[in-house]
Amino acid sequence: MIWATQRLDEIRGFADTATVLEAGRVRFDGTVVELSGRSPGRRFLIRVQDGLHAVPLPEHLGLLTAATSHSREHFILELAPEGILGDALLAVAGSGARILSCREERSDIEDAFFDVMVGA
């Protein structure tokens, strides 16, 4: 089946494998899991309870900044190149913050698609 869309996340619901084509060239051929595994996944949106004051993360973990200039609940966590998500979240929680949610800033499938198209 050939399927074209602008909503790349839909692929998870109906396909086990995917082939990404550009101008007749195969840019990726493999499982959807393998495709999503190509996502760098380095930026996360976190939400904390009762606000959060500046929590400097150790440089080897990453950078935590408010999602907007007036936000006290929503933050962007950008991992350092070798930073580990669990370690960064432990550092935030260790500062007394209660983490309510954490999700990737963008879809991993979209990130992987762009990685395939730009990096291949």
pLDDT average, residue stretch 30-53: 83
Whether 1 is in a domain gets the answer: no
Tokens describing residue 78: 């950008």
Q: What is the domain range of residue 59?
A: 43-104
Residues 112 and 81 in one domain: no
Nearest to residue 61, comparing CAs of 77, 40, 38, 73? Answer: 77
Same domain? 76 vs 89: yes
The more confidently predicted of residues 52 and 83 is 83
Q: Do both 99 and 112 map to the same domain?
A: no
Q: Compute the C-alpha angle 28/42/16, nearest 5°.
A: 35
Buried-state track 19-39, b at ≥16 Cβ within 10 A, e below 16: ebeeeeeeebeeebeebbebb
Looking at the fold, whether 96 and 49 belong to one and the same domain comes out as yes
**Out of 5-9, 53-57, 108-112, least confident range:** 53-57
Mean pLDDT computed over every residue of the chain: 85
For residue 55, pLDDT beyond 70: no
- DSSP output for 71-99: -SSEEEEEE-TT--HHHHHHHHHHTT-EE
Q: How confident is the model at residue 52 (pLDDT cuts 50, 70, 90)?
A: low
Q: What pTM does this model have?
A: 0.67
Instruction: Please tell me the total count of domains within the chain.
Output: 2
